[in-house]
Structure 1
Amino acid sequence: MSVMNDFARVDRDADAWSNALARWLTPQAVSDFVDTDPAEVPVREVIGPPRLIVDPNNGFGVTAMVPTDTGEYTVRLLRQSAEHPWKVTRIAPPG
């Protein structure tokens, strides 16, 4: 999952890390991560494909469970319509 690959690129400086993530995120999620220091992010590697959880009552939202070297991250995605791209609203660590 591309957003998690960028999330795990903690070798970048904070600006480069934030800019790489921003293309995948909703404006609110960009704001949520603006003060994050990538050195504090524990994940270093995505180790498998995501497992998708689809809400049959909501065709515009999905949850991806992404296995990483530190456990399974939860990535919530949303789109405004079938014609719009998926955007990440939240990235949550294991637990």
Structure 2
Amino acid sequence: MSARRIRLIALGALLVAPVAGCAADEPAPAQTSSSSAASTPTAAPSATATTTPPPVSDGGEPMEALDSDSDGATQAPVWDEASRTEAQTLALQVMTAYARPGVPAEQWWAEFSSYLSDQAAYDYQWVDPTAIAPRAVTGPAAIADDSSVYLAQLTVPTDAGTYRVLLSREDGPTPWRVERITPPESLEQPDSGTQA
């Protein structure tokens, strides 16, 4: 099974709560081109074993596998000090950008959306920043769950309680992106379906 498929299965299991925020009459500008591009399926090699021999080059040498390339784009990520620092920095930055209900919607969206994955940008495009409860981040981000090398859950304290930030990454060289922000009340009552 490819690393991307494993990450998507793990992410799918975690993303069961509805999107944070309330819908506004005028939605904030969306990154429709990137989100539609992200939803376009791409060809991937089969993860099942076959008896077909690997393709060979003209010189008779086996060619590289289809899911890897010379620049290491499919290199598996690892949990090291650098990736932990990057995850904590991103969680703090996205919550700082998120917790600004007084900022004009267009400015808020332009700054907040720059941290999001394509799917999260699509999901959060309808958020009305005036409905956001926190107004300030009050402490550092802390890693709450690092059981997957493709996902990270962090907690970030705010003046409206401690929020949880879910991050994801495609592979080793790919930077973390924000998938979900969950408010304190949703963490206490996971079936409530209310996020703000």
**TM-score between the two structures when normalised by the length of structure 2:** 0.46
**Counterpart amino acid of residue 43 in structure 1:** P
Distance between the aligned counterparts of 1:28 and 1:44, measured in 2? 25
Higher helix fraction (1 or 2): 2
Deviations 1:20-43 (A, max 9, x none): 111110111111111111110011
Higher strand share: 1
Q: Does 1:11 align with 2:98?
A: no
Corresponding position of 1:88:
178
Is 2:151 aligned against 1:61? yes
Distance 1:79 1:14 in 2: 27
Larger radius of gyration: 2
Distance 1:54 1:71 in 2: 19
Counterparts of 2:134 and 2:110, CA distance in 1: 18
Q: Structure 1: 5+ residue runs without aligned partners?
A: none
Aligned length: 94
Extract structure 1 runs of 4+ deviating beyond 3 A.
none
SS state of the match for residue 18, structure 1? helix
Contact 1:14 1:36 in 2 (8 A): no
Consecutive unaligned residues in structure 2, runs of 5 or more? 1-91, 186-196
Alpha-carbon distance in 2 for matches of 1:20, 1:9: 11
Higher RCO, 1 or 2 (CA under 8 Å, sep at least 6)? 2
Equivalent position of 2:121 in the other structure: 30
Is 1:71 matched with 2:71? no
- Secondary structure in 2 matching 1:6: helix
Per-residue deviation at 1:64?
Answer: 0.7
Q: State the AA in 2 paired with 1:21.
A: F
* TM-score, length basis structure 1: 0.92
Percent identity between the aligned chains?
35
Deviation, structure 1 residue 53: 2.2
Secondary structure of the residue aligned to 2:143 is: strand
Alpha-carbon contact 2:100-2:132 (below 8 Å) kept = no
Pick which of 1-10 and 46-55 moved more: 46-55
